Amino acid sequence: MKKIASFVIAATMLCALLTGCGGKTTEPSAPDAQKGAQPVELDLYYWDESYNDTMAAVVEAFEAQHDNIKINITTIPWGEYWTKLQTALPTDSGPDLFWCNYMYSLEFIPNGLLAPVDTTNVDTGAFVEEALNMLSADGRLYAVPFMLDSVAMVYNKSLFDAKGIAYPTADWTWEDLRTNAAALTDENHYGYCLDYQSQMGTFNFLLQNGVTVYEEDGVTPNFNSDAAVEAFNYQYDLVFTDKSSPNATQLSELSKGDRFMAGQAAMTYCTSPYVATYYDALGDALGCVELPAGKEEACTLNAVGFAGSAKSAHPEEVQMFLEFASSVECQTMLAQSGMPACLEAANVWAERFGEDTNAAAFINMMDVAHRLPLAHKSPAATRSAYESECANIFAGTKTVEEGLNDAVAAVQAELGA
C-alpha cells in the first residue's frame, strides 16, 4: 500500500515540470474572439450543496478566461437529480454540462447521452488511470474526472484517548477492528458504526474477503457465495453479537454520519468527500486511516466527472469548459471540497486537514482500490435492490443467508433474468 506515496511524489514532480495537470496551452476559439458578442449561456447541473462555494469559484475563474461564455449553475438534490437528467438529456431541454458518476455513465454512455471529450488538450497522464477508465467507453473519454471516492476509516481520537486505547494503524485487520470496537463500546458510545449500504460499507468487506461481486459478464451476482456469507457474518456479529454498532433500524432514526459527528461512535467507514464535513465537526479530533484488512486489502472506488450533453447546442463551448475542468487550476479549486482525480491536486486536498488528520489515507487506499462493483445493466435499480436486502439483514429481520439469497433474486428480477 505504501507504493502510492512514492508514485504520488513522482507524479507531483512531473506535473510541476509540465506546469500542472492539463497544462497544455490552447488558442482561444472563434466564440471567445468575438468581443462584444452576446455571451453564449451554458447550464450546468450538480447535486452536492457542499460544493456551492467551490463551484461558484470554478465558474468565475472560467468566465474570466472566456468572456463570451456565461455558465448558469443549478444545484438539484440527489433524490431528484438523476430523474431530471434521465428525462431531459434525451431532448434539447437538458443541461449543457452536468456531474456524472460511474454508475450513471454505465447507462448514459450506451444510450448516446454524453458527448465524447476531445482529449487533445487534456493531460490525461496527470489523472488516476482508473478514474479515466471508469468514465470511458470504446477508447473514448466521456467525462473529465474531478472527484474520487475511495474508502478509508475515520475515527474520533477523543474517544480513543478517553479509553486509553491506541489509535488505529494501517496494519489493522478485521480482528483488530472487532476487538477494539468492543473495547470502545459502553452505555453512551459505540465502538464502530456500521454502513449497511454498498459503496461505503458492505462491498468493501466482500472485496476484502475475495468476493467477485459480479462475474465478468457484469450481470451475474455472487452476493450469496460462501465467502460473501462469511463477510456478512463478520459484520452481523459486530452488530448483534458484540453490540459494538447500532443496527439498521437505529441508523434509520439517527444516521451514521450524525452519530459520528456527535461523538457517539468511535469509528466508521466513509468516502473522501465526507472528510471535510467530519473535520468541521470534530476538528483535530478527527483521524483517518487505511481500512482494516480481511483476507486482502481492498476498497471500492467511484469517480465523478464533468460531462457534456450530446444534445447541447454549444459543443465548442462545452469542450472549452471540459478542458478547463482538467487543468491544475480548476482541479486545485475543487480540492477545497473533495479529493480530485488529478494526483497533484489530491495532495493539496489531503494537506488541507493537517498531517495529524492523515487524510492521505484515502490516497493510499487507491493502490488497492476496485472499481465500484455494479451490474452493467440497470446499475441503479440493481444496487437499490441489493441494499434493501442488506437493510433487512442488519435490522435483524432476516438471517444473513436469507437476506443474501433474496438479494440475488431481487437483482436477477431487476435484470429480467
The dihedral region occupied by 60, where left means phi > 0, alpha psi between -120 and 50, and beta the remainder, is alpha
Please give the average per-residue pLDDT across 274-288, as a whole number.
96
Q: Check residue 114 and report its DSSP letter.
A: B
pLDDT for res 2: 40
pLDDT higher than threshold 90 for residue 5: no
Rounded mean pLDDT of 61-77? Answer: 97
Q: What is the mean pLDDT of residues 321-343?
A: 95
- The per-residue pLDDT for 326 is 96
Residue 25 has pLDDT above 60, yes or no: no
pLDDT at position 104, please? 96
State mean pLDDT over 227-235: 98
Whether the per-residue pLDDT at 21 is higher than 70: the answer is no
We find that the CATH architecture of domain 3-148+302-351 is 3-Layer(aba) Sandwich (3.40)
Residue 68: band (very low, low, confident or very high) from pLDDT cuts 50, 70, 90: very high
Q: What percent of the chain has pLDDT over 70?
A: 91
Does 267 have pLDDT greater than 50? yes
Of the pLDDT bands very low, low, confident and very high (cuts 50, 70, 90), residue 8 is very low
How much is the pLDDT for 38?
Answer: 84
Q: Which pLDDT score, from 0 to 100, does residue 111 have?
A: 95
Tell the CATH superfamily of the 150-301+373-415 domain: Periplasmic binding protein-like II (3.40.190.10)
On the CB side of 289, CA atoms within 13 Å amount to 20
Q: Work out the pLDDT band at 92, boundaries 50, 70, 90.
A: confident
The cell numbers describing 335, all together, are 480540492
C-alpha–C-alpha distance, residues 108 and 114, integer Å:
6
Average pLDDT over residues 139-161: 97
Rounded percentage of the chain residues whose pLDDT exceeds 90: 88
pLDDT of 16 reads 39
| DSSP secondary structure letter of residue 84 | H
Domain residue ranges of the chain, discontinuous segments joined by +: 3-148+302-351, 150-301+373-415
Strand, helix or coil for residue 103: helix
Q: Taking the model in full, what pTM does it have?
A: 0.88
Q: Give the Å distances, CA to CA, from 310 to 58, 111, 143, 303, 317.
A: 22, 10, 12, 20, 13
**pLDDT at residue 201 tops 70:** yes
pLDDT one-digit tens code per residue, 372-395: 999 999 999 999 999 999 999 999
pLDDT, position 36 = 56
Query: What's the pLDDT at 376?
Result: 93
Report the chain's mean pLDDT, rounded to a whole number: 91
Are 3-148+302-351 and 150-301+373-415 the same fold in CATH? yes
- pLDDT reported for residue 303: 96
> Positive or negative, the Cα torsion across 156, 4, 199, 181?
negative
